[in-house]
Amino acid sequence: MKTGINLREKVTAALFTAFLSPVLFASDALPMFTISFFNGACPDGWDSTSLASANGRFLIPSMRGGGVGSFVGEALTSQQTPSHVHADATGSITTSSKEFILIGGCCNDSLGDSGTQSMSGSTESASGNLPYIQYNACMKSAAPDPSAGTVPSGLMTYYLMPQCEASSWSPVYAASGRYPVGLPASGVPGATFGGKALNPGEIRTHDHTMGGTINLPGHDIAGGSGCCAHGYAGAGDTGFSGNTVVDTDSSKYDSAVQAPYYTANFCRMN
């Protein structure tokens, strides 16, 4: 799983672009280093070169105690279906025990031992069916136009600096480490849901418990039920249990929720 940050180079590149650009002011009132999405090319005064690591990743508000411009997970290619596998799965099965009027030992070796036996395996890659839409992520590289009016109160947007711009913007701490989604019908604005917020640089993982029943077929022998050859597995239904193993080192997709992200400060206009 990839992680990284190089904020100094991003800021330097943005300032260099701003100083050399013939556009001294962008035709909007948003401050420099604002990040937003555009359905097409970045407009004058905005650029995407400083956000290369955001391509193929979801933008999420920076975690409390974390930085901006960090990224986690393998970036998605265009219209890629996110998927994951669980490289290992372990568990156990416990059979019933049967005794026979026989002599235990050699050489009828087609009978099974009773007791608890370990089991292992792996899972196949599966689609996460994660719904998403692709837009161009652009950063404001020019100063705001003084004649462009004001930014509406309550507007929330991303900002590629550790602190929100000036005193007119405030951080939205409730969103830190969470994926923003559009408000569902009858939803409550600002409501959080799901697991705890991401920690800085966290790769969110999950595993699955397993359980079920296996039917062991019978195997006839010439003998009677009773004492004293014992420890043979009995036929019939027997349960098994186990779980998948979290191992992000063995595979870039193993157990990881495939929603690669890029962090940026999330600010609200007062």
- 208-237 pLDDT, tens digit each: 888 888 877 776 666 666 676 677 777 778
Position 68 scores a pLDDT of 94
Per-residue pLDDT tens digits for 138-154: 999 999 998 999 999 99
Mean pLDDT value of segment 96-105: 69
Q: What is the CA radius of gyration of the chain?
A: 29
Per-residue pLDDT tens digits for 117-126: 887 777 777 7
Kindly state the percentage of the chain with pLDDT values over 70.
80
The 10 Å CB-count burial string (b at 16+, else e) for 200-232 is bbebbeeeeebeeeeeeeeeeeeeeeeeebeeb
Mean model confidence pLDDT for the chain: 82
Question: Could you state, in order of their start, the residue ranges of all structural domains in the chain?
Answer: 3-82+129-194+257-269, 83-127+205-245
Per-residue pLDDT tens digits for 2-54: 566 555 555 555 555 555 555 578 899 999 999 999 999 999 999 999 899 99
Q: What is the pTM of this model?
A: 0.76
Residue 108 pLDDT grade (very low, low, confident, very high; cuts 50, 70, 90): low
